[in-house]
Structure 1
Amino acid sequence: MKLEEFVEYCLSYPASYEDHPFGEGWTAIRHKGNEKIFALIFKKDGHLCVNLKCNPDQSEFFRNAFKEVKPGYHMSKEHWNTIILDGNLPEDVLHDMVKYSFDLTKPKRKVKK
């Protein structure tokens, strides 16, 4: 998958926007409501990669199931995975992982009293 395609896919989620908080070569996709990052895209060792948030139990599952999934680069190894985008990870699995990261980081709904 190419950078532009993946950014476009991430921006299809509601109230998301592109940011470059770490300078050139790093693309963050954030929530407008709380500014939390749900996808951090970068190049490492010649590969296009993305960091996605994940439940610790699922993080381990994905790492064991797919060689393209590694512990989060420059992130909490427990809660983030780095996914190599130019590998052979099935697109539906990648999309599920993006959705899960989006859901884990989205703004919390305020409870009416």
Structure 2
Amino acid sequence: MAFSPGAGGSRFALTLGSADVFSGALSQDTDLPPGSYRFTTVVRTQGGLEYARVRITGAGRESYVLDLNNPTQGWEELSLGRLRLASGHAAVSIEVRGRGGQSVSIDSLSLIRETV
């Protein structure tokens, strides 16, 4: 589901939720050079979901999780730094489960290589 407008005046944001019990995930695979990365996103939620998270997984099985389930006051930026991705591949997944009547909206995702 797309939410409009998104964070910071963007046209759309991704919203995951349902009036009924639900569980869902979506992911994107990307190729990137090995190194240290920072993941940043902008989130809006009332919280209270069973879980809402972003999981970044490298091909070497390294895995990092950013919790999205804390209530926000409007749109709030969240980030997770020093993600060591040793291989040239990563998957970014958004995973949500809730009892119904709850949702999380997410926008402006970025995975940027940090300078050492």
TM-score, normalised relative to structure 2: 0.28
Compare relative contact order (CA 8 Å, sep 6+) and give the higher one, 1 or 2.
2
Instruction: Considering fraction of residues, name the structure with more helix.
Output: 1
What TM-score comes out, normalization by structure 1 length?
A: 0.28
Higher Rg: 2
